Structure 1
Amino acid sequence: MTLTATRPTSPPASAANAIRVCVVDDAVVVRGMVTRWVNEEDGIELVGSYRNGQVAVEKAPQDKPHVIVLDIEMPEMDGLTALPLLLKACPGVKIVMASTLTRRNAEISLKALSLGAADYVPKPETNSGVSTSSDFRRELIEKIRALGAAAAGRPQARVPFSTPPSAKPGAAAARPATAAPSPGLAPAGGAGEPIKHRSFSRIRPTALVIGSSTGGPPALAKLLGTLSSDIWKRMPVLITQHMPATFTAILAEHLTRAARIPAAEAENGEPIVPGRIYVAPGGKHMIVAGTRAAPKIRLTDDAPVHFCKPAVDPLFQSAATVWNSAVLGVVLTGMGCDGANGSVSIADAGGTILAQDKESSVVWGMPGAVAQSGASAALMTVEEIGRKINSLAMGALA
């Protein structure tokens, strides 16, 4: 069996318990289209539609939204100016920035995330593109559901997890004798059931792989900023963040400043060496090829995994094949279940998986799926994960 990405179904909700949404965009066509999409969904209700940031700041507090979809480029008051005002006026609201795929808008979107926006969604360049893009509609509604549930303090829809067989391509075939014994793969998905963790690897890690999505860029910057200088001498860092092209190049620039070592979009065929951060480029899957002694990057144009490209599973599964018990994997905040199958592959190979805890995650989808799979050694805050990486990299046994 494989981990199947299916759209969670939600029972019809009354106006009293629906996820409340506002849309802020100067384009009438966009506002009308998003309004129709939201109103066609069970459990979601549009409560406000505004033509610019100024109107939103004035009216949104009365509408009490859980989620605001906020355009970047608008007259009178743009999205970046309105963002902090809306966060102050509507405590607890989750804001999704909407922008076309330009370098300028990518910069603004990442800045917005650092200022408190929960996520972003790439918008087609034309109004006609908005109306015909099924991908834009799917991604927007999925993010509204996930973030709205978090804002309302409700359980988030969980995609069912099933453990992949060891014969699956890219997965490790067996746990090596050097690895600590596993407590098993019983899922921890039931309410009130304790999460079953794996033991930490007894092998000092020589590579760090990280997967993240919603809320990931600020979490990545914080995590990399906590790592000691000794880390970079000992291991490379490979990151898959769910992002489109253009955005990943900007993300790499931001991570260079946070980590104080070079970070860049990975290039096909380049060697993987300590002291560098490799970011999966938008629109490509990044996998580890070569041998443990001479690993290298391979970029593929394979089909999306869990609707994502790049996806975390191909990176983690290939890392388990090449580095076995010497790989350390981290799954940070994000919606969906990408990374769970790959985490099982790393754990089965004898490596260690750390997942972000629910309380500190913007959305506990990806790390929650990892916890449900039984692959994680621990659930931690970003700061705790950083300290644990420092400890493990220096040879400390958990």
Structure 2
Amino acid sequence: MLVVDDSALLWRLVSDVLGSADDVEVCGAAVDGLDAVEKVEALDPDVVVLDVEMPNLDGLGALSRIHESKPRLPVIMFSTLTERGATTTLKALSRGASDYVAKPTGTGSLAASKATVAEQLLPRVRALAGARKVVGSTAPAARPAPVPVAAAQGARPRVLVVACSTGGPEALSTVLRGLPPGFALPVVVAQHMPPVFTTQFAQRLDSICPLTVTEAAEGDVVEPGRVLVAPGDYHLRLSRSAGVVRATLDQGPKENFCRPAADPLIRSAVSVYGAGVVVLVLTGMGSDGREGCRSASLVGGRVVVQDEASSVVWGMPGAVAQAGLAHEVLPLNAISARLATLAAASGLRVNTNGHTNGAVTNGTANGTTTGLPRTAFGSDRVDVIRR
């Protein structure tokens, strides 16, 4: 792998950490974007760790140049936990970067910094290097066939829960952009992402998709026409009180080494909506979401996962599929249409023509007011009625 950073201290730290792993070889280091472009051509690494802010040619410019000649080469952005760093990193993800890792800050010692880099970076390097070899191979490694799962019980969908990690920002963007403006299900998202990044990620999604997207806050109402993204370093869960479903946030123990994590969000959705839960597991490293999907399947909910060919890393969706918990395994470009079909079967409708013809009721609308105030997003009123 190739390490690119204009700070000698940081590239030595990263090189030392990665080089200490038996299964990772650091083939070189570059001091700026131009140097990176040349060394990618000369060394042909399996993965590149790329700094965001560098002289001569920055990370965004280097990423574009690298992918001109090697479009499938995995690139991990190495970014600061700042608004500026988050903005640039999200741009890089939209332009083909595979993942990102935050630079260690405030760790207090070199040993702690190395431990942070090892925890965050090594698993990503291994996952992305392995994914590249599978994609580039003429004979992909055989996988056991997914265990068949009983069909979903046919309950009307009431909520969409999305889980994603490595490659997730762009996959989720693709899915949300493809949904119709009248998509009738509330959407809640657990994307493995640190603080600051989730705020800007939600803002970016809001600017490109037909639904209203916000970073979840304590007490937010979960309602059709709205997407709530779990904030960095907090678990997002759902709870119902007086007939209204709301978001709750906590900093409980990490699950699957993550906070936010998908499993607690899915479990909470199952406790609120039962068989009305639809879970979508997109590309991501690890197995977060598998046990939540097990809970959803046991009560008759529906589980959809992204297929291996269109995933950056088929860890999370693969774990669900191989456990026999996926009702459908779909390519990324087919997911939005399938979700639209499921939402249409919900019997709910988001009315965006400004007329008041139903009550917002979190899946129990019956044409009468239930205490939850009608909500206007921009100039559109969101009303839910049962067909």
**Same-fold status (TM-score > 0.5):** yes
Letter in 1 for 2:34: Q
Match of 1:226 among 171, 178, 187: 178
In structure 2, C-alpha distance between the alignment counterparts of 1:367 and 1:243, rounded to whole Å:
18
| Alignment-derived partner of residue 281 in structure 1 | 231
In structure 2, C-alpha distance between the alignment counterparts of 1:343 and 1:141, rounded to whole Å:
27
| Alignment-derived partner of residue 68 in structure 2 | 88
Letter in 2 for 1:383: N
1:325 equivalent to 2:275? Answer yes
Letter in 1 for 2:161: V
| Alignment-derived partner of residue 186 in structure 1 | none
Q: Give ranges in structure 1 of 5+ residues lacking alignment.
A: 1-20, 156-189
Letter in 2 for 1:280: A
Match of 1:245 among 189, 192, 195: 195
Runs of 4+ aligned structure 1 residues displaced above 4 Å come to 126-131
Q: Give 1:194 shift.
A: 4.3
Letter in 1 for 2:128: L
Percent of aligned positions that are identical:
38
Match of 1:97 among 74, 77, 83: 77
| Alignment-derived partner of residue 151 in structure 1 | 132
| Alignment-derived partner of residue 46 in structure 2 | 66
Letter in 2 for 1:141: L
Equivalent residues of 1:288, 1:295 under 8 A apart? yes
Q: 1:360 to 1:287 in 2, by over 3 A?
A: same
SS at 2:287 equivalent: coil
Alignment of 1:294-309 (within 5 A): 294-309=244-259
| Alignment-derived partner of residue 307 in structure 2 | 357
1:200 equivalent to 2:152? Answer yes
Q: 1:274 to 1:292 in 2, by over 3 A?
A: farther
Q: Give 1:126 shift.
A: 6.9
Letter in 2 for 1:224: L
In structure 1, C-alpha distance between the alignment counterparts of 2:110 and 2:229, rounded to whole Å:
28
| Alignment-derived partner of residue 380 in structure 2 | none
Alignment of 1:127-166 (within 5 A): 132-133=112-113, 134-153=115-134
1:43 equivalent to 2:29? Answer no
Match of 2:211 among 261, 275, 278: 261
SS at 1:214 equivalent: coil
Q: Give 1:59 shift.
A: 1.9
In structure 2, C-alpha distance between the alignment counterparts of 1:300 and 1:127, rounded to whole Å:
23
Is 259-268 or 236-245 further displaced after alignment? 259-268
Is 122-131 or 270-279 further displaced after alignment? 122-131
In structure 2, C-alpha distance between the alignment counterparts of 1:113 and 1:221, rounded to whole Å:
11
Letter in 2 for 1:47: C
Q: Give 1:347 shift.
A: 0.9
Q: 1:213 to 1:127 in 2, by over 3 A?
A: same
1:24 equivalent to 2:10? Answer no
Q: Give 1:154 shift.
A: 7.6
Q: 1:309 to 1:192 in 2, by over 3 A?
A: closer
Q: 1:211 to 1:50 in 2, by over 3 A?
A: same
In structure 1, C-alpha distance between the alignment counterparts of 2:6 and 2:181, rounded to whole Å:
47
Q: Deviation string for 1:310-362 (max 9, x for gaps)?
A: 00000001101110011111000000000000011111111101000000000
Letter in 1 for 2:174: K
SS at 2:182 equivalent: helix
In structure 1, C-alpha distance between the alignment counterparts of 2:255 and 2:243, rounded to whole Å:
28
Q: 1:201 to 1:107 in 2, by over 3 A?
A: farther
Q: Deviation string for 1:70-122 (max 9, x for gaps)?
A: 00111111111100111123342100000110111101101101111000001
Q: Give 1:62 shift.
A: 1.4
SS at 1:278 equivalent: strand
Q: CA RMSD in A?
A: 2.1
Q: Give 1:58 shift.
A: 1.3
In structure 1, C-alpha distance between the alignment counterparts of 2:52 and 2:311, rounded to whole Å:
25
1:367 equivalent to 2:321? Answer no
Q: Give 1:191 shift.
A: 3.5
Q: 1:80 to 1:256 in 2, by over 3 A?
A: same
Q: Give 1:272 shift.
A: 1.4
Equivalent residues of 2:17, 2:117 under 8 A apart? no
Equivalent residues of 2:179, 2:210 under 8 A apart? no
Q: Give 1:255 shift.
A: 1.1
| Alignment-derived partner of residue 379 in structure 2 | none
Letter in 2 for 1:137: A
SS at 2:117 equivalent: helix
- Bigger RCO of structures 1 and 2 (CA < 8 A, at least 6 apart): 1
In structure 2, C-alpha distance between the alignment counterparts of 1:326 and 1:210, rounded to whole Å:
14
Q: 1:278 to 1:194 in 2, by over 3 A?
A: closer
In structure 1, C-alpha distance between the alignment counterparts of 2:182 and 2:143, rounded to whole Å:
41
Letter in 1 for 2:123: E
Equivalent residues of 2:144, 2:322 under 8 A apart? no
Q: Give 1:198 shift.
A: 3.5
Letter in 2 for 1:299: L
Equivalent residues of 1:107, 1:250 under 8 A apart? yes
| Alignment-derived partner of residue 34 in structure 1 | 14
In structure 2, C-alpha distance between the alignment counterparts of 1:291 and 1:154, rounded to whole Å:
47
In structure 2, C-alpha distance between the alignment counterparts of 1:347 and 1:337, rounded to whole Å:
16
